[in-house]
Structure 1
Amino acid sequence: MPYTTLISATELAAHLEDPHWVVIDCRHDLADPDAGSRAYAAGHIAGARFAHLDTALSDKRPAADGSFRGRHPLPGREDFIDTLRRWGVRHDAQVVAYDAQGGMFAARLWWMLRWVGHAQAAVLDGGLPAWQALGLPLSLDPVAPAPGDIALQAPLVATVDAGQVLANIGQPSRVVLDARAPDRFRGENETLDPVGGHIPGAKNRFFKDNLQADGRFKEAGQLRREFSALVDDPAKAIAQCGSGVTACHNLLAMEVAGLRGAALYPGSWSEWCADSRRPVARGA
């Protein structure tokens, strides 16, 4: 049975020698972009490849018209397929992503795999801390996989652009969920983007509220109740955050809850606030 949302450390350990499984380390630190690669070099789950948020999971070049696409814009779908092939991902692979931040970055890879049509993708629930809590080992061995044969398929997820989000403000038919911390949502303590605030009409769902105290996701029923209090129809929801990364955490939590169909606004607040013509709201 394929894993399509979360997988436990025990379940991953039982499949670690399976050649059809690919494990990818997504550790990162927004304030120290090299922290993830250093952590990977110091010890990783055996066989894991390393995915750098800024290079493997983003393409920071501007749009064709020169406009800013946000701090972590998506790469082209074909370019991402090339990256997956270099990691040895085959068309029938079970991919497991992990980090050490409760899925903050691993969920981005999970969503991107679905974006290129690969459903057999899961996030290690609790991340590396859950792995180490079981006394499971780390490896220092280098990884040199044979090229994979994954091919681009129809996307399993939806995206929206800034124009669609802007049009929704005037005639709101979709709920925008902002995954940032409440203070940043209110426009306070903004250190990552030049403008503080949020998209008018958006609701705040801090991505860390998806987790239990031990860093694992809350159970499906609780997530369903919490998201249903914010969203009537998940297929009409739009997930966003600062740069399109932690919004994927909310999308994963909604998938765990059985609330499917929400779209991602990849540029998110970092793209939105770069154009002074777009409206900004502040406060709760």
Structure 2
Amino acid sequence: MKHYDTIIDVGTLATHLGEEGLRLIDCRHDLADPGAGRHAYAEGHIPGSRFLHLDEDLSGPRDGRNGRHPLPDPDEFAARLGRRGIRADDQVVAYDDAGGAIAARLWWMLRWIGHDRVAVLDGGWRAWREAGHPVETQIHEALPTTHGVHPGSVAAIGTQALRGALERDEVLLIDARSPDRFRGENETLDPVAGHIPGAVNRFFRENLQGGRFRPADELRAEFLALLGSRNPTEIVHQCGSGVTACHNLLAMEIAGLSGASLYPGSWSEWCADPSRPVATGPG
């Protein structure tokens, strides 16, 4: 099977369904109802899919200071993948029902542990169903294997390092949350409203049109306008908890703008310490 490392369309995936070395991961999740994704998976999924839960599989333990979806220990994450039968040389395709917002988190995390053969299903579950492709309810037992950790092709930055880089004007911080939350309005997920001083807003849904990623040239033009004179390696992405920020990272990769970093703790980690500055308004 060809190597896919950004997105794959439903027609192409359908032609490869059932091939050896293809691993499909259902990442459906609802922040307001954490059990909804697993329930949806049980009701129907793309044949052969395994399910990974955002809170349980794609996040680590929370301590009240490290955000709502902290990264897990990389070795433990790799062990979870192995228990799902995912090998380091498999072609992984992740999908959800949220325009790739959750699937992109798995895309980034696999690259974080050195697994670059991973793509997001463009259009996700909805596009698969609309195209009339097969669906199953059977849950297959995975044959456990081993998935190691290797140097990744993506980078993460911690709070203190980010704060210093912002003070020295070494990076541009891009916030993927909705404009109202960025401005400090209608905050329902985190205890403090606002944004990190110096951040600019790029709502992740601007990457989509009709539930699918917009053409690469359009994404490239918009991100270049946002970056200005900055190199992609000087860009850090964040959101509320390090999930939808990965959607902007994927969009930049589709646009041929590689090298940006993720602030995994994002706003939920930043605002957990009242000594850290907070800004409101348009930025």
For structure 1, the residue ranges without an aligned partner over 5 or more in a row are none
Aligned-partner Cα distance in 1 for 2:194–2:96:
28
Aligned-partner Cα distance in 2 for 1:170–1:77:
29
Contact 2:79/2:146 (8 A) holds in 1: no
Contact 1:90/1:149 (8 A) holds in 2: yes
Aligned-partner Cα distance in 2 for 1:121–1:168:
30
Which residue number in structure 2 is paired with residue 201 of structure 1?
198
Aligned-partner Cα distance in 1 for 2:24–2:272:
36
Contact 2:62/2:68 (8 A) holds in 1: no
Deviations 1:143-191 (A, max 9, x none): 2111133221111110101101211232211100000000000000000
- Give the CA deviation at 1:222: 0.3
Which residue number in structure 2 is paired with residue 156 of structure 1?
153
Aligned-partner Cα distance in 2 for 1:277–1:163:
12
Deviations 1:15-64 (A, max 9, x none): 111120000000000010001001001000011000100000001232xx
- The one-letter code matched in structure 2 to 1:220 is A
Return the match for 1:94 from 75, 78, 91: 91
Aligned-partner Cα distance in 2 for 1:59–1:43:
27
Contact 2:62/2:69 (8 A) holds in 1: no
What does residue range 115-154 of structure 1 map to in structure 2 within 5 Å? 115-154=112-151
User: Structure 2 length as normaliser, TM-score?
Assistant: 0.97
Which residue number in structure 2 is paired with residue 217 of structure 1?
213
- The answer to whether 1:111 aligns with 2:112 is no
Which residue number in structure 1 is paired with residue 35 of structure 2?
34
How many residues are paired up? Answer: 279
Contact 1:23/1:96 (8 A) holds in 2: yes
- The one-letter code matched in structure 1 to 2:176 is A
Aligned-partner Cα distance in 1 for 2:198–2:168:
11
Which residue number in structure 2 is paired with residue 3 of structure 1?
4
Return the match for 1:174 from 168, 171, 176: 171
Which residue number in structure 2 is paired with residue 238 of structure 1?
236
For structure 2, the residue ranges without an aligned partner over 5 or more in a row are none
User: Structure 1 length as normaliser, TM-score?
Assistant: 0.97
Aligned-partner Cα distance in 1 for 2:142–2:238:
34
RMSD: 0.9
- The one-letter code matched in structure 1 to 2:186 is N
Deviations 1:71-121 (A, max 9, x none): 000100000100110111112100000000000100000000000000100
Show structure 1 runs of 4+ deviating over 6 A.
none
Match of 1:31, SS state, is coil
Match of 2:250, SS state, is helix
What does residue range 66-81 of structure 1 map to in structure 2 within 5 Å? 68-81=65-78
Match of 1:261, SS state, is coil
Which residue number in structure 1 is paired with residue 17 of structure 2?
16
Match of 2:105, SS state, is helix
- The one-letter code matched in structure 1 to 2:39 is R
Deviations 1:253-282 (A, max 9, x none): 000000000000000000000101100010
Aligned-partner Cα distance in 2 for 1:124–1:277:
41
